[in-house]
Amino acid sequence: MKWLSSIKNRVPQLSLWRKGDASRPALEPHIIPRDNHPISRKNISDAALKVIARLRSAGFQAYLVGGSVRDLMLGKHPKDFDVATDARPEQVRELFRNSRIIGRRFRIVHVRFGPEIIEVTTFRGSHEPEEAEPPEGRRAPHGVAVRNADGMLLRDNVYGTVEEDAVRRDFTVNALYYTTADFSVRDYTGGVPDLHARLIRMIGDPATRFREDPVRMLRAVRFAAKLNFTIHEQTAEPIYELAPLLSGVAPARLFDETLKLFLAGHAAQTYELLWEYDLFPVLFPATANAIEADESGIYDELVMLALANTDRRVSQQKPVTPAFLYAVLLWPALKREFDSEVAKGVPVPLAVQQAASTVLSDQQRHISIPRRFSLPAREIWELQWRLPNRQPRRVQNLMENPRLRAAYDFLLLREEAGEQLGGLGEWWTRYLEGDENTRAQLLKSIQGRDGGRRRGRGRRSR
């Protein structure tokens, strides 16, 4: 990308300031004119261009900002487009009847065009933060952010200028602004050189910014995996110490973040980075304990194989489901808990049920998994103990089970990871792919192996 080389290092020096500091320097952007960058309006969503045009016609500033500008600068095709403006949320709402205001921590506006949503944010400003959340019954003063005792921002509805907004963003590569006024790109924080150097660099003091919002640690990993960038040394250094702060993030929010981490097409690399920066054990503590205790390495290999398969499906635009993802991510914890129950003398069917309940209940304290995903995951697990029972009637019942295909795929992953299952995966592959005669022969071979003995209790006498 010749345009990157031509403007390398020609960016402003960044410094953060506090609101009300009269001596703060003016932050002048490096302006990249239309002829010196690769962004074309034909690659920008029509809906985003409409939002920008209406805001500007109403007398407001409006920029395309964030990941969409970053990806366009890298020659990629973004799926989502965000707009930043000096219009307040209520003013944006008045301009667009097809919009609604959402959010509490920082209010934003979603403008809907059919299935597409354009996210519109008001320029964020610098602020004098309170040290802690105000007492119950007392509201924070206007223009003052609210933090908890760990420094996490609880409220941040403080508005400012485009310059202040730039330094309130997380990473330099996400703080690029594209304007349709002259079709230029404005770089306030050195994002363009970091694109050139393939670096994820935090704006401001990394430790402070991570404390403000611990999810930024996950975002750093996600962008590094997605873009194949390196996290800058000074940005990476505090993560090891501050990773436990993720425990204070709402479990529902972490569910959304894990979907972004693992269902965006870069799950395998993301998984490795989460381990590298000590983040995975905070998100999945029981799974992490099981993997670390597993000398065979089978559990870790299973997760890696499943995530690599997920990445392939995403690249092929095939559907992926969080239910299967969580069945994989929590399997090491489930299997360890199951083995513990069996060792206590608990019957296998009951041990499976109790282990699943324990693992899912414990995980909900960290990541809130909706029932529409946890229930199918649980069914996939339970089928792992039903698939070995290949009596004709049991097999017929399994063939009618809507989770059979997912459970079968899971079984193959277990075998590929190194579990010794006596050729069970091959038997089911032949059965599922075979014709009627092949299936009959396979069932007969199982009956012959068992000597025709009937398993389980007979039908109860009436």
Domain 2-124+159-197 superfamily per CATH: Beta Polymerase, domain 2 (3.30.460.10)
Show me where the domains of the chain are located. Answer: 2-124+159-197, 202-386
3-state secondary structure of 133: coil
Active-site annotation holds for 80 = yes
Catalytic residue among 82, 165, 300, 311: 82
Active-site annotation holds for 82 = yes
Q: pLDDT for 362-391, tens place per residue?
A: 999 999 999 999 999 999 999 999 999 999
CA angle, residues 157, 162, 167, in degrees to nearest 5: 75
Q: pLDDT for 91-131, tens place per residue?
A: 999 999 999 999 877 799 999 999 999 999 999 987 555 44
pLDDT of residue 104: 74
Fold of 202-386: cca-adding enzyme, domain 2 (1.10.3090)
Active-site annotation holds for 435 = no
Which one-letter DSSP state was computed for residue 245?
Answer: G
Integer Cα distance of 14 and 32 in angstroms: 17
**pLDDT bucket at 1, cuts 50 / 70 / 90:** low
Under 8 Å between Cβ of 210 and 239:
yes
Listed residue (388, 363, 366) closest to 377, CA to CA? 363
pTM of the full predicted structure?
0.85
Q: pLDDT for 226-249, tens place per residue?
A: 999 999 999 999 999 999 999 999
Under 8 Å between Cβ of 396 and 442:
no
Total number of residues shown for the chain: 462
Catalytic residue among 71, 156, 165, 170: 170
Catalytic residue among 80, 150, 278, 294: 80
**Whether pLDDT at 24 is above 70:** no
**Whether pLDDT at 13 is above 50:** no
H-helix or E-strand spanning residue 190: none
Integer Cα distance of 223 and 75 in angstroms: 16
Say yes or no: do domains 2-124+159-197 and 202-386 share a fold.
no
